[in-house]
Amino acid sequence: MSTPATQPVITPSSSHTDKPTVRVGTRKSALAMKQADFVVTSLQKLHPGINFEIKGMHSAADKDKITALYKFGGKGLWTNELEAELMGGALDMIVHSLKDMPTGLPDGCVLACVTRREDPRDVVVVKGGLENKYKTLADLPDGAVVGTSSVRRMAQIRRRYPKLHFKDMRGNIDTRIKKLDAEDSEFSVLILAAAGLLRMGYDARISQYLESGTEGGGMLHAVGQGGLGIEARADDTQTLELLKALESEADMLACEAERSVMRTLEGGCSIPIGVETKWVGENKLRLTGTVVNVEGTEAADAEGVQEIKTREDAVEFGKLVAQKLTDNGAQKILDVINVDREASRESAEAWIPA
Ligand SMILES: NCc1[nH]cc(CCC(=O)O)c1CC(=O)O
């Protein structure tokens, strides 16, 4: 006999081995898994002939909660392992919260897709929920404790509400809310991203939306907040093609502009910068940015409106707004923050993705 005597045995669990498999990686938190699930469900509807698999991975920083975060080497802290798997071919794409993605990716990896953005704003969550007589930051008495580990959030709130106090609050969303609600908790409110709460189904805990302007507490959100960023290999044309269907062009352009501000200002390290983008006319994007010192006593603000049609337009626009921020004193504020951070080893969004 010239043909092989044994054929591979098809077991029930490998009944779809005839289908091509696309492997989707993400961090193994409840929110990250939900986000990956959303991406896979959307892709599966479009491609019933492909088998999609989600692989949740703990990063080194997730596994080791004792070693100080800075000892992991900072950049890409939460993404290095996933990217190694992607480049080695064990994964075909990674689903990230866009705001946790460094603005510079390793060679060979690209931001293949930005999905339609969830509400990008930060929100206030009050202790005990909506029964609480306090609903907004303006309601809080002097000395009330705000929980956040983000310098960006703390600095901007201090600027408007100098009499509030701040304490670090880390952990994933469930952990943070539990800490807030605990009977003996010292916190009055937490500041979180609307996107995470909405995706987790915790809409009912949102008591105030923060945004630019007095009503919104003058708060600008993090770069890329609310968007999902999907990373793939630059040469994997099949995956890049699949992901085109999930891209929201308007949100991608706005997020590219925001990331460009960050990339232009940061020089390696993540910085506490707030942004807000809004489409204000046909192809016209308005981008507002702020850099505030930790004490909330000094700020550089800038705004621009420009016609944006391509990714390159968005990147150039981001550079322009970054330059305006620098002209208005951002660099001086950032230099002080970088020196302080070197001493305290704190980072901008604390780099604890939810
Ligand atoms: N820094 C943590 C983080 N990273 C992504 C989200 C969810 C929001 C998003 O997808 O932008 C959060 C939680 C938060 O900031 O409250």
Sign of CA dihedral 78, 80, 86, 89: negative
Return the pLDDT at 18. 81
- pLDDT tens track for 127-163: 999 889 999 999 999 999 999 988 899 999 999 999 9
99 Cβ closer than 6 Å to some ligand 1 atom? yes
Identify whether residues 106 and 141 lie together within a single domain.
no
Identify whether residues 126 and 140 lie together within a single domain.
yes
Identify whether residues 234 and 105 lie together within a single domain.
yes
User: What is this model's ipTM?
Assistant: 0.94
In a domain, 323, yes or no: yes
Return the beta strands (E) in 211-283 as ranges. 228-233, 273-281
Identify whether residues 90 and 238 lie together within a single domain.
yes
- pLDDT tens track for 240-299: 999 999 999 999 999 999 999 999 998 545 578 999 999 999 999 999 999 999 888 999
In a domain, 14, yes or no: no
Nearest CA to 146 among 188, 184, 185? 188
- pLDDT tens track for 180-239: 999 999 999 999 999 999 999 999 999 999 999 888 889 999 999 999 999 999 999 999
In a domain, 174, yes or no: yes
Identify whether residues 343 and 253 lie together within a single domain.
yes
Identify whether residues 139 and 68 lie together within a single domain.
no
In a domain, 69, yes or no: yes
Q: What angle do CA 255, 256, 257 make, to 5 degrees?
A: 90
Query: Rounded CA gap, 261 and 263, in Å?
Result: 6
Identify whether residues 100 and 232 lie together within a single domain.
yes
Task: Tell me the CA–centroid distance for residue 147 and ligand 1, in Å.
Answer: 14
Looking at the 3D structure of the chain, how many domains does it have?
3
Q: How would residue 309 be classed by pLDDT, with cut points 50, 70 and 90? A: very high
Question: Which of 18, 62, 92, 100 is the catalytic position?
Answer: 100
Q: What is the CATH number of the domain that holds 66?
A: 3.40.190.10
Both tokens of 18, joined, read 């005839």
Q: Containing H/E element for 261?
A: helix 249-266
Q: How would residue 4 be classed by pLDDT, with cut points 50, 70 and 90? A: very low
In a domain, 222, yes or no: no
Task: Tell me the CA–centroid distance for residue 306 and ligand 1, in Å.
Answer: 28
Identify whether residues 239 and 285 lie together within a single domain.
no
Q: Are 264 and 319 in contact (CB under 8 A)?
A: yes
Task: Tell me the CA–centroid distance for residue 6 and ligand 1, in Å.
Answer: 51
Return the pLDDT at 248. 97
In a domain, 196, yes or no: yes
100 Cβ closer than 6 Å to some ligand 1 atom? yes
Residue 64 has pLDDT above 70, yes or no: no
Residue 204 belongs to what domain range? 122-210
Which residue among 95, 97, 177 is best mutated to probe the pocket of ligand 1, counting the most ligand atoms within 8 A of its Cβ? 97
